[in-house]
Structure 1
Amino acid sequence: MPYESYFMIDVPSMLKRLESDTQPQWGSMTAYEMLDHLRKGVDICVLQLPSEIITPQEMLPKYKDFLMSDKPFRPGSAKPPVFDEVAALEGDLEMLKVNLMKSLVNMMVHFEKYPDHRAVHAYFGELNTQEWLQMHYKHIQHHFTQFGLT
């Protein structure tokens, strides 16, 4: 997966189709909430915010295998509790799009500078940079599919 082109070319292209009144195909998030939710996910991994691993230790290899597979996240998948600890950003839709892109650029620069970066994900355990890139790819695809952008 060429992550850099996905995050820097594909994501902005798909974001152009998101309008403030775009309705989700499932769930109750608004377009505003979805954008800020994705930004939070990126910031959580870069900032290495403490997160308790919820998945039983013996299940982590199976969860990581799923993460690294081509299988998408299911509609209605639960978000990790750490998301509630990151402040929401206010703003209009275009500003939230910009904030998401700033976070993605920051992540790519951070991973380039610190290729051994590791951070804990509540469901998948400790992830390295490649695993985080895959996680964010799947997460963005999940929500962009939710809003009909893929």
Structure 2
Amino acid sequence: MKSLFENESHSEVLGRINKLNESSKGLWGKMEVGQMLFHCQFPLNLALGRYEMKKPNPIMKLLFKSFKKGMYDDKLWKQNLPTAKPFIVVDKKDFKIEKEILVTAINDFHNQKSKTHWDPHPAFGEFTPEQWGKMQYKHLDHHLRQFGV
């Protein structure tokens, strides 16, 4: 899996985001493009320490750990996977504003590529820096494919 820490992958993601516009339609799922851009900010902000997610109960944490490798491996995520409750977006979002905020978060995350220690994910636990980069790329790629870019 590519990593958002790689310069080429970082540029690729930004280029794909720039292909989106206010009338871009999803090929699956319920989100409008502005909602998708807002949704994609959550994992980046969580990694950057700008968003706090409630820790799951022990049973859910065990369940999340069983899916951990799927967060960063080379297998593409399937369409219409359920979204974690804290990341569901129902309100209409402004495309231009959310695009700008997402691009800033992507750049901020990419600029942390030399960081050697990351706080554990509240649901999945410890990730290596390499796994963090792959996970962020994989999530963005999933939603950019959702919108055909």
Q: Same fold (TM over 0.5)?
A: yes
Q: Which amino acid aligns with 1:98?
A: E
Q: Which residue of 2 aligns with 1:116?
A: 117
Please, which moves more after superposition, 3-12 or 132-141?
A: 3-12
Deviation of 1:69 (Å): 1.9
Q: Which residue of 2 aligns with 1:22?
A: 24
Residue 127 of structure 2 aligns to a residue whose secondary structure is strand
Deviation of 1:125 (Å): 3.2
Deviation of 1:134 (Å): 1.3
Q: 1:90 to 1:144 in 2, by over 3 A?
A: closer
Contact map agreement 1:119 1:128 (CA 8 A) in 2: no
What count of residue pairs does the alignment treat as equivalent? Answer: 142
Deviation of 1:90 (Å): 5.2
Q: Which amino acid aligns with 1:147?
A: F
Q: Per residue, is there more strand in 1 or in 2?
A: 1
Q: 1:129 to 1:13 in 2, by over 3 A?
A: same
Q: Which residue of 2 aligns with 1:79?
A: 83
Q: Which residue of 2 aligns with 1:137?
A: 137
Structure 2 unaligned blocks of 5 or more: none
> Which has the bigger relative contact order, CA under 8 A and spacing at least 6?
2
Whether 1:56 aligns to 2:67 is: no
Contact map agreement 2:35 2:92 (CA 8 A) in 1: no
Q: 1:137 to 1:70 in 2, by over 3 A?
A: same
CA RMSD of aligned residues (A): 2.7
Contact map agreement 1:22 1:31 (CA 8 A) in 2: yes
Residue 135 of structure 2 aligns to a residue whose secondary structure is helix
Deviation of 1:82 (Å): 3.4
Which structure 2 residues correspond to residues 5-16 of structure 1 after superposition, within 5 A?
A: 5-6=7-8, 8-16=10-18
Deviation of 1:2 (Å): 5.1
Whether 1:127 aligns to 2:127 is: yes
Q: How high is the sequence identity, in percent, across the aligned residues? A: 21
Contact map agreement 1:45 1:120 (CA 8 A) in 2: yes
Q: 1:79 to 1:126 in 2, by over 3 A?
A: farther
Deviation of 1:121 (Å): 4.7
Q: 1:100 to 1:69 in 2, by over 3 A?
A: same
Structure 1 unaligned blocks of 5 or more: none
Q: Which residue of 1 aligns with 2:69?
A: 65
User: In the aligned structure 2, how far is the partner of 1:83 from the partner of 1:9?
Assistant: 25
Deviation of 1:68 (Å): 3.2
